[in-house]
Structures are given as structure tokens and as C-alpha cells.
Structure 1
Amino acid sequence: MSRRTLAGGLAIAAAVTVTTLPAASVAAEQVAVAFPSARFPLGARPVPTKTMTAVTQGIDFYQVKAGSSTDGYTVTVLMPSGRDYGAQATAENVAAEVEAAGETPSVQQVIRPSVADAPSQTVYMVRVGMWSLKDKKEADKTAKALKEAGLKVKVDYLGDDGMKTTGPWDVKVVMIDSRTFRGSYAASLGTSVAKRETVSSMAKAAGAIVGVNGGFFNIHTAKNLRGEPVGASVVGGRLLSEAVPGRSAVVLQGRTARITEIGTTVTVVSQDGEKVKANGVNRAAATDELILYTEEYGAKTPAGGTDAVLDPAGKVLGLRASGAAIAKGTRVLHGNGLAADWLNQHAWQDWTIRVDTRVEDLRTGKALKLTPDLHVIAGSVGLVRNGQVKITAKRDGHDSVNMILRRHPRTLLGVTRNGSLILATIDGRQPGVTVGANFHEAAQFMRWLGARQAINLDGGGSTAMVVNDKLVNRPSDGVERGVGDSLLILPK
């Protein structure tokens, strides 16, 4: 990738190194899941230091460190849009404002690399100065002066950029051998769908050996509902959140795990033969939507509509004004607008309503049987498919510069050729301690560990790994964050 300085001073190479790794030995994959002996796959491929703990039969836990700190700080000037990057002409205009304020800017060309479903993107950033890790206060002074001149700026740690770095990296890895592990895998939403809860809490309540955070949760809804997963969630064979069509997910059953894409449909059929598709499960309702709420929701239905309360057999116990809790042993069909009209016409008291739920594996086109041992957790982005890097950022809604190129804490899940499970966290946003990873680096890392299939789960401040009731990584928020769901490794 290229470097271009358009206005004096600082010039920073915008480059992402994508290392082609040899495919893992088929024979080795069939024997066991094992930590690689090769050099660490990121940066200058340093020799990692690692410690291994045998957690229980079939589960090994590795603490890995690699690389060293050489990155420092710069001041980034924001564009009129509020973003830290923009078109070249916009960046040049912002650079002129910086010069007028008495500082020397650099216009940096940044190439967001291509992924499997989106081409590369070229953008421009305006930056001022470069300081070592220990001189952040000097960067803060320059930022303050620019703010006083009327510019919007922020101080950036260069290790977060996603460009060339030496690290360091602080990684935790759990390897679960499919041949010898005798427990099972499960998803947990904690005490309710609506409420956020820490992985530590969910793992302790379930008696889990290992737990990691699951997929994204909805931060754009009411505060008391933000535990709701964004994507498919199946717990114990019950669909508790609908899929984002085509989004990557992990399907767990017993002690097997596989990665695929999931679709869900919920069809409501009245006793009079009329049918309608529900728009969602256990989430806030938009105008004219029909939403299915289960007893796991843990919050009241939205006000301003109609609720049809169903018993376990689908009998309508009654219609009521919405805004009440879901009683244990019941489900509620909630509608407003046109959906409320449908309920008033086709969900009469003592009628039977059939709710047909289909969870489909989109790779095979087959429905998953909703048995008590079935669990599904939505991922955020596909990383590796059939042993090759295949990053599906656009399909999964994450094809921005911030998501693809920048480094963040990551929670990663992979499956080896013989069906063994790999869970990993890469801590980040801790200057001088650990830099995290971008999508390409995360994919390289999972291939290095032996994953033939891999996905990115939620990351950032949500990244958490718990082993034997102990939080083993260092969340970037400084404390463990409440999340929507978790993946748990159970002893039975």
C-alpha cells in the first residue's frame, strides 16, 4: 500500500501485511488440536512466550504474549462530518485550517483493504505530530491548542490504526479436543433476554468450565432492553432472537460446534386459517410489527398496542392492552397498528394459535431441529472458511474503515478439521501493553491456531474470557462489561 504526504511534516505508511500461512497438516488435525510451534503470525512474526494450563480432560488454556511496543501518539483532526477520515479534497481543506492555526499538518492516505464481499477503499486523514509512548502529554498539549483554535481533534495511539506495528499482543486461547472432552457446549442469555449480564455471572450460574462473550447486543434500543442479541439466538432449542439474514453464526449441539449462516422465520397461524409472519422475537416493536415474546424476555411488552397471551399449547388466554410482563409458561404475540388489527381479528379468546418456528442453515438449506441440546450464537463477521481467509464484513454489516482496518479487542471462535473448538481473546486498546487486531489479523491468527472455520464474535469492551470462575483477560473498559449472551463450556 502507498504513502502520500500532501501537506508537509508527518508521513505515515498505510499498510496492512497479509501473511499467507501454510495449510495445517491434515494428519495433525486428525490426531488432536495442538498449539502451533511456528512463530506468532502478526507483526514481524516474533517468537511468542506462552504458558499452558490443563483445565480439565480435553481442555487446555494458553496465555500468550508476543511483540514489543514501538508505537506512539499523534493528533488526528476530524472532518466536518465528525469522522476522522474523508475524501482527499475535504482532508486538504481541513489541513489548510490546521496550517492557519499555526501547526504543520500531514494528509495521510489510508487504504482500507478489500475483503471477500467488499472492495478496498481509499480515504484520507489529517494528522499533526508524532510522539513516543511516554510523551502523550505533549500530544495532549497540541490537541488542546488546536481545540482552542476551533478545530475538533483527538489524540490517537498509532498501534490502534491497523497499519504496520510490532505489537505487543496479549492473547488467551482455550483449545477443546473433540476426541477427549466429555462435556457439552451451550449458549446463555443470563437471567433474561432484555438484561445485560457479565460472562462471569453467566458462567458461574451454569457451572461452566469456560465462558466467552457471544455476539453483538442492541445498544440502539431502550436502556433496559440492551441485552437483546443482534442476530439469531437459540437456547435449549428455543428461538429467543431472530436472525439477521445471512449473518455468520455458530451452531452448538452437545459437544459439536460448526459455523454457518442462519435464517429464521416465525409464522403465526390462526384457528381460522389466516396466517402472518412475525417480524421479530423478544425485541422492541416498530410500527405495524408483530413480535413474539417468550417468558425469557424479562421485560414488559411495549405500550400502545395489543397483546394476545398464549398458553403452552397455543390457546389464547385472552387479549389485553400491551405493556405488561410475560407470565411464566406463556408466550405473548404483540402487535401495534396493522399487526394489532390482525390480532383483534384472528386471535380471539379460547382460539388456538399455532406458532411455527423455523431456524435454517443457509449453507445446506435445511431446518435445524429445535431439540433441547441445540444452541445458536450469532457471530459478527465470518473470518475463515474451509481453511482460507474469507472475511464477510459487508454481508455482516461491518465493512467500515473502523471495523475492517482498525485494531480492537477481539473474541474469536474457530473449529478445526476434526471438529475441535478454539476460543481466543486478543486484548487491545491498552497502549504499550496490547494492540488488539483488525479483521485480517484476526483471520490470520485463527488459521495459525489451526481453525478451518472461524468467526469474530463481539469485541471491544465486550471481550471477556472466564476459566474456572476467573476472568483471565483484561477488558479494555477496565472492568468486565455486561453483554447480551455468552458461549459456555459445561462439564456435562
Structure 2
Amino acid sequence: MRRPITVLTVCAALTGASLTNADPAGAAVAPGVTYRVYDVRGAAGPARAHVLSVDLTGPRVRLGLLYPGAVAARAPVSRLADAQRALAGVNGDFFHITETQHPGVPATGASAGPAVADGEFLKGAVPDAQRFGPALPPGTSGRAVVGVGLDGRVRLDTLDFSATTDTGLALSGLNQYALPENSAGAYTSRWGDLPRTRAACGSDTDRAAPCTSDTFEVTVRAGRVTATSPTPGSGPIPPDTTVLLGREAGARRLRALTPGRHLKIRYSLAVRHPSYRFALGGYPILTRGHPLPGLNDTARAVRTAIGVSNGGRRVLLLALDGSPHYRTGLTIAELASLLRDLGARDGFSLDGGGSTTMVLRQPGHTTTTVLNHPSGGAERPVPNGIGLFER
């Protein structure tokens, strides 16, 4: 039985010193799960970290992807957690939050990086230059993920999407709000019903580059081309249907396909049988106990992160508080140091700012409550998150 939540506040300086005076028991919220609050002295002022420590060695809890059932959709973390009956959760990947550079093109709300839910590869990563959020640390990629493998262990990795058609056309994307130049991508029922227009905007080096009009779509159902279109479409895609969208050279290859033609899409083994039960994007900031070189040490913000230790069998879900007293937040370099001081060996940064949210279902309640104070004053709708589930 879970006992009522209590808040424990300790103080830690980000100077390489370890945390002190922390009650090892914390506040138990489920078997193997404790909740603590830490006050932290950042270089620019105080920060407050809400931390869920999760022991995955037992059979009682697991991690999974929170998402609203479509890639191009958003909902507050509490609503995502309640819909999937999660015990707790934090927000996830950076996402296509706004679209000011391309008038008339709607923001899709889709996440930037790869995503896997219940062993299903939902989407691939957009080109790095098309990401929203802070610049990636040197040597990292928008294909970076944190996830749970088939062995039940949490690890940091990169995930690529690849597929081909029997005509030899390589597909470079899956349910992505942006495709590489001169490529073609696949869209399935998991995309949702929003327009696919944004996929042909921007370039491999500039997110604000103009949209191209050199596009072509092919609808494939039951191994046969059923329709074509010179422009990206919208509306729901049936579960037995795939839409191929090409831009520039990719569009020219697709124009050779006509209705009635047989067409088979061959997905790579990594996509058909993902090695992850769940995964989502962000970027690494701590590996093998060492912060990555070149982490930003000037830009401060409210942030969300996950720390990993004990060979992937223990995780820390961390969300900074966004109330006015703590809104200065931490730099990415400070965040990596904090995760290390909390005992993490590897660390991964998720979306922050107004997206940072941690929710928990209190004992005796049927819905979750928000533990931190979102910096925008209320929960921001997000495309996905990390959910903690009781088995």
C-alpha cells in the first residue's frame, strides 16, 4: 500500500560535491518508486528539482510511452497519463510547436525525434536542422533516444528509420513533420489527420527555407497504388493504407507510379521488429558518469531529464519547478552535473521550458496531479512523454 506523499527538501551545490542529508527512503509512492524534492544552488540562482526514483529490477513497475494516439497531436501530460492509466509521468521530446516561417502551414505538434510505443516504431527523426529546441551538443544527433530494450533495461541509443519499395526507392522518413531534401517518406494511420504540407518545407540546413512545390503523393493499399496527388494531403489514413510523400528528386521518382500498379514496401528489420519496447527522442548529456564535452553553460531554463544507473535497471525522472522563485532554472551543463550527483551514470535531456511537467497519481485517487509548477502557469499540451506504469 502506498503511503501519503511527503516532500523532502535537501540542498546541493553544483560544484562537483555529492548530495548530502538526503533521506535514503524518501517518500514511497509504489513498490520500488520514491519521490523527493531537491533544492539546488545554480550559478544564477536557486532551482528546485522534483525527482522520481524508479527501481526496475522488480516486476511491479515499467516505463512506457505516453502519447495521444497520433503522432501529429498534443495533450497535457496529466491527460496522457490518465488516458493510459499511468501512475506517473513527465513530458518527453522536443516538438513542432510553432510555424512562423511558412505562412498558411499549420504546426503539427509532432515530436522531432524517433518514437517507439509498445514495440511499434511510430516515427523517425526529422533532419537535425529542422528540429525545434536548443542546439544539439557536439557529436550528438536528432536520432538519439532513451528507451527500454527487450531485456527490460533502459539505455541511450540512436534509432534510424529505413525502408525501400520494390521499385528501388529508398524511404527516408516515417510520420515526420519534415523530410530530408530530395527524399520520400511514409505516412501511416499513426500520423493522424493533420495536413502533411510541412514535410516539404525547410531544408537540410535551414528550418526556415521555403516550402518546395515539387512534391508528389502516392497512396498504397493492399500492395497496390490506389491514388496519386501532386500536393501533400490531409485527413486520416486508414490502418491498411500507407501514403508515400516525396519532395524534389523523391517526388520525381514517385511520379512514375500510377494507380493500379503493384507496389510493395519493405521495412528494415529494425523497424519491423524494434529492439525497444518504448523509446523517445531528446539528447544525451551524461555518459558513463561524465557530462558530454561542450554542453551549454550559459542558457538557463526550466528542464526535464531522465537519469539511468545500475545497468539500466534504475532511472530518475526529473522535472524542475517553474514557479517564479525557481524560474531561472539550470543550464544543460548544470543539469548533467545534477543528474550525476543524484547517482545517474547516463543522462538524457528532454523538452523543457513551458513543457516541463511531472504528474503523479496520489494514493486513493483515480487521476494524476501536477507535482511541479509549469513555468507557463498551466500544463502545455505536448506530443509525448515517459509514463510510469504499475503492472
Q: TM-score higher than 0.5 here?
A: yes
Aligned to 1:295: 189
Distance 2:80 2:13 in 1: 33
Cα displacement (A) at 1:203: 0.7
> Does the residue aligned with 1:256 lie in a helix, a strand or coil?
coil
Q: Is the aligned partner of 1:489 residue 2:391?
A: no
Does 2:289 correspond to 1:387?
yes
Deviations along 1:154-207, one digit per CA (max 9) or x if unpaired, are xxxxxxxx7x34x43222110111223523221133132112221111111111
Contact 2:91/2:350 (CA < 8 Å) preserved in 1? yes
Superposed counterparts of 1:44-193, under 5 Å: 52-66=26-40, 164-165=43-44, 167-193=45-71
Q: How does 1:212-361 map to 2 (within 5 A)?
A: 212-221=90-99, 224-243=106-125, 244=128, 246-247=141-142, 248-253=144-149, 256-270=152-166, 273-279=167-173, 281-284=175-178, 288-298=182-192, 299-302=194-197, 305-311=215-221, 314-320=223-229, 322-329=232-239, 330-346=241-257, 348-357=259-268, 359=270
Q: 1:236 to 1:475 in 2, by over 3 A?
A: same
DSSP-derived class of the 1:443 partner: helix
The residue type equivalent to 2:357 in the other structure is: A
State how far apart, in whole Å, the 2-side matches of 1:193 and 1:491 are. 25
What is the RMSD of the two structures over their aligned residues, measured on CA atoms? 3.3
Query: Does residue 208 in structure 1 map to residue 104 in structure 2?
Result: no
How many Å apart are 1:369 and its aligned residue?
3.6
How far apart, CA to CA, are the structure 2 residues paired with 1:443 and 1:238?
30
Letter in 1 for 2:314: S
Q: Distance in 1 between matches of 2:159 and 2:381?
A: 26
CA distance in 1, matches of 2:36, 2:262: 57
SS at match of 1:264: coil
- Identify, as 1 or 2, the structure richer in helix: 1
Q: Does residue 471 of the first structure (1) align with residue 370 of the second (2)?
A: yes
| Shift of residue 300, structure 1, vs aligned partner | 3.0
- 1:307–1:416 CA distance, 2 compared to 1 (3 A): same
After TM superposition, give the deviation of residue 293 of structure 1 in Å: 0.9
Shift of residue 485, structure 1, vs aligned partner: 1.4
Question: How many angstroms does 1:427 deviate by?
Answer: 2.1
| TM-score (normalizing by structure 2) | 0.76
Task: Give 1:220 shift.
Answer: 5.0
TM-aligned CA deviation for residue 441 of structure 1? 1.5
State the AA in 1 paired with 2:356: T
Specify the SS of the correspondent of 1:234: strand
For residue 57 of structure 2, give the secondary structure of its aligned residue in structure 1: coil
**AA at the equivalent of 2:370:** L
Say whether the 8 Å CA contact 1:211–1:465 is kept in structure 2: yes
Matching residue of 1:105: none
**Structure 1 stretches of 5 or more lacking a match?**
1-35, 68-161, 360-366, 394-402
Q: 1:289 to 1:66 in 2, by over 3 A?
A: closer
- Matched with 1:424 is 318
Structure having greater relative contact order (Cα 8 Å, sep ≥ 6): 2
Q: Deviations over 1:299-349 (max 9, x none)?
A: 1333964322223x5443333454232422122111244323312314652
Question: Does structure 2 retain, via aligned residues, the 8 Å contact 1:48–1:66?
Answer: no
Superposed, which structure 2 residues align to 1:5-44 within 5 Å?
40-42=12-14
Computing the radius of gyration from Cα coordinates, the structure with the larger value is: 1
Identify which range, 43-52 or 193-202, moves more after superposition: 43-52
| 3-state SS of 1:219 partner | coil
Q: Taking structure 1 as reference, are residues 452 and 229 closer, same or farther at Cα in structure 2, changes over 3 Å only?
A: same
Give the deviation of 1:449 after TM superposition. Answer: 1.3
Tell me if structure 1 keeps the 8 A contact 2:309–2:343: yes
Classify the secondary structure of the residue corresponding to 2:160.
strand
* Contact in 1 for aligned 2:297/2:334 (Cα 8 Å): no
Q: Does the aligned pair in 2 maintain the 1:240–1:282 contact within 8 Å?
A: no
Q: Contact 2:10/2:22 (CA < 8 Å) preserved in 1?
A: no
Rate the CA distance shift 1:448–1:355 in 2: closer, same or farther, 3 A: same
The whole-number CA distance in structure 2 between the counterparts of 1:343 and 1:228 is 25
Q: Which residue of 2 aligns with 1:95?
A: none
Where does structure 2 lack aligned partners over 5 or more consecutive residues? 1-7, 129-139, 201-212, 362-367
CA contact (8 A) 1:214 1:457 kept: yes
Deviations for 1:64-90, whole angstroms, at most 9, x for unmatched residues? 3355xxxxxxxxxxxxxxxxxxxxxxx
- CA 37–252 in structure 1, closer or farther in 2 if over 3 Å, else same: same
Q: Which moves more between the two structures, 341-350 or 437-446? A: 341-350
Residue 288 of structure 2 is aligned to residue 410 of structure 1: no
Query: What amino acid is the match of 1:327?
Result: I
For residue 204 of structure 1, give the secondary structure of its aligned residue in structure 2.
Answer: helix
Q: How far apart, CA to CA, are the structure 2 residues paired with 1:410 and 1:487? A: 14
SS in 2 for 1:252: strand
Letter in 2 for 1:251: G
SS at 1:325 equivalent? coil
Confirm or deny: 8 A CA contact 1:58 1:181 kept in the other structure. Answer: no
Q: Deviations over 1:192-236 (max 9, x none)?
A: 211222111111111111111111112354774342111212223
Greater shift after overlay, 182-191 or 280-289? 280-289
Secondary structure at the aligned position of 1:474 is classed as: coil
Q: 1:391 to 1:471 in 2, by over 3 A?
A: farther
CA contact (8 A) 1:209 1:488 kept: yes
Q: Is the Cα–Cα contact under 8 Å of residues 211 and 486 in structure 1 kept in the other structure?
A: yes
Q: Percent identity?
A: 24
